[in-house]
Amino acid sequence: MASNEADLFVDSLIGAPLKDDRALMEYPFFSIQKQPRMEPLVYDDGKIQITIEPGPKGLATIWDKDILLYVVSLINERIERGMTVDHTVRFAAHDLLRVTGRGTGKRSYDLLLDALHRLRSTNIMTTIESADERDRRGFGWIETWRVVERKTSTGRKIMAAIEITLNDWMFRALVKERRVLTINPTYFSLDSGLGRRIYEIGRKHLGNQEIWKISLDKLAKKIGTTRELRFFKRDLLKIIGDDVIPDYQLSLEVGPRGGRPVVIFEHRESQS
DNA sequence: GTGGGCTCCTATTCGGGGAA
DNA sequence: TTCCCCGAATAGGAGCCCAC
């Protein structure tokens, strides 16, 4: 979409289903801590290595990812309505803040700008190895962002619209490969970054299975936590106790012969 | 080594109010 | 009625201490 075309409409997502890219749910791509994380995030399972390096404002966080979810959902909504889509999406900042359950105060708009900055400046490098090939890539979460401000009659500047251009990788995943999953809107009400990440992992891995198990240390790796395993276990037990994860119920059991603890994901009985 | 309790810092949320 | 700003209150994240 040319930028002058983008000026013709401002999309809105109120009431539309929210989508997430499957690949974004699989690996620890985002920081789950609210304080700026300046050390890189590294995931290496032998076949895939992912290094995420922070920009000047730190790593993009799981709350920054809400912006991507919003854009992904906007694009998906347009595809499902048979409309044309492009790498560039334009929407009202206020709509995004409402959909993602944030305030609409000045602080929220400032944080939104910081989030755009982090999404643009966080550098992701992936190495995927197969039997005879090694594929290495580097990219940022978004290609570019632009904030359109307008002046009120009193001279005050307000954020009228945001324009985001997605990178090729993300656009291809959404439009060509249709790698999207619907997420529960109450996801946005999860304050804890760990809770959000656990929901994503459950959504990605449980699928139509009745139950999914993973060892505590592997789950910690998948989550990308910086916490020591014992602190991670404590945080996880609190989340299990609070029982706040939408759609899924978690439990922790000691592994066979008193071995490593195992985390069990199950669908909630009340879910349809 | 693990888990519970506690504290501190700060990001986030919320409610009231003004402008468009 | 909607959009945005401001300031106060709240809660999450992280670290420390101590008992087991």
pLDDT in tens, chain A (272 residues): 333 322 223 444 444 455 555 555 566 677 777 767 777 777 776 777 778 888 777 778 777 877 887 787 788 778 888 888 888 888 777 777 777 766 666 667 777 777 788 888 888 887 776 667 777 778 888 888 887 776 665 555 666 677 888 888 777 776 766 666 677 767 776 777 777 888 888 887 887 788 888 888 778 877 777 777 777 777 787 777 777 777 888 887 765 555 677 888 888 765 44
In the structure, how far is the CA atom of residue A103 from the C1' atom of nucleotide C9, in angstroms? 15
With H, G, I as helix, E, B as strand and everything else as coil, classify residue A140. Answer: strand
Report whether A14 contacts A74 (CB < 8 A): no
Q: Which residues touch strand B (CB under 7 A)?
A: A 34-36, 61, 63, 101-103, 105, 107-108, 111, 152-154, 156, 191, 229-230, 233-234, 237
Q: Count of CB atoms within 10 A of residue A232's CB?
A: 18
Given this model, what pLDDT does residue A12 score? 46
Q: Is the CB of A231 under 7 A from strand C?
A: yes
Given this model, what pLDDT does residue A1 score? 31
Residue A244 per-residue DSSP state:
-
In the structure, how far is the CA atom of residue A28 from the C1' atom of nucleotide C6, in angstroms? 36
C1'-nearest nucleotide to the CA of A108: B12
Given this model, what pLDDT does residue A208 score? 76
* CATH number for the segment(s) A17-182: 1.10.10.10
- Whether A190-265 and A17-182 are alike in CATH topology: the answer is yes
Domain limits of chain A? 17-182, 190-265
CA distance A61 to A59: 6
Given this model, what pLDDT does residue A104 score? 65
In the structure, how far is the CA atom of residue A230 from the C1' atom of nucleotide B1, in angstroms? 9
Question: What length does chain A have?
Answer: 272
Q: Count of CB atoms within 10 A of residue A60's CB?
A: 30
CA distance A181 to A167: 19
Residue nearest to nucleotide C12 (CA to C1'): A192
In the structure, how far is the CA atom of residue A36 from the C1' atom of nucleotide B9, in angstroms? 13
Given this model, what pLDDT does residue A223 score? 78
Given this model, what pLDDT does residue A192 score? 74
- Pick from A129, A255, A271: nearest CA to A206: A271
DSSP E strands in A61-219: the ranges are 88-91, 123-129, 134-140, 142-151, 157-166, 180-183, 211-215
C1'-nearest nucleotide to the CA of A114: B11
Find the helix or strand (DSSP H, E) in which A65 lies: helix A65-80
In the structure, how far is the CA atom of residue A186 from the C1' atom of nucleotide B7, in angstroms? 31
Say which CATH architecture domain A190-265 belongs to.
Orthogonal Bundle (1.10)
C1'-nearest nucleotide to the CA of A158: C4
C1'-nearest nucleotide to the CA of A191: C12
Given this model, what pLDDT does residue A26 score? 62
